Amino acid sequence: MQESEYLYSVEFAVRDYECDLQGVVNNANYQHYLEHARHVFLVSQGISFARLHEEGLDLIVTKAEIEYKYPLRSCDKFIVTINIQREGNVRIVFIQNIFRLPDNKLIVKARITSAATKKGKPVAPGDLIQKLGLEYYDNQIKNIRK
């Protein structure tokens, strides 16, 4: 894992209560890790879900694709990485990975698709695209893939 490959990353540690009887992180908790990382990323970009909602715009998850590669265990430290891209007029896709630290073992690969809505109807995310710098990030991701 090269941090320069990702637009954002945040470090966490597994808490005991997140593990199941087998001593590994319960699969549902990985979605919590991914979601929390997305929220921290948005806040780092000056975007508040509460403020968006007050303005009538909601960003909702419409699809979660998660590949579980290897389990985390209690007290493991890990990093969640994020890249983003646009898909169509209303969707923003978060490409996320979870790597265990310090060996950078790939734990989870995820693709989380979200859509912007107003009053429950899909809409173009408007200035959210600029706030996220998606035009810039779209080009940066294309360059990474070359």
Q: How far apart are CA 130 and CA 47, in angstroms?
A: 11
Domains of the chain: total: 1
CA torsion 110→129→12→16, rounded to 10°? -60
Tell me whether residue 145 is in a domain. Answer: no
Longest CA–CA span in the chain (Å) reads 45
- Residues 46 and 62: their CA atoms lie apart, in Å, by 23
Q: How confident is the model at residue 146, as a pLDDT?
A: 54
Residues annotated catalytic, as ranges: 20
Enter the pTM of the model. Answer: 0.87
Beta bridge partners of 19: 25
Q: What domain range is 69 assigned to?
A: 3-139
| 1 token code pair | 């894992």
Q: Give pLDDT, residue 129.
A: 73
Question: pLDDT tens digits for 38-77?
Answer: 999 999 998 888 888 898 889 999 999 999 999 999 999 9
Based on C-alpha coordinates, what's the Rg of the chain? 16
Within a domain: residue 74? yes
Q: Residue 146 falls within a domain, yes or no?
A: no
Residue 144 lies in a domain: no
CATH number of the domain residue 55 falls in:
3.10.129.10
Low-confidence ranges of the chain (pLDDT < 50): 137, 141
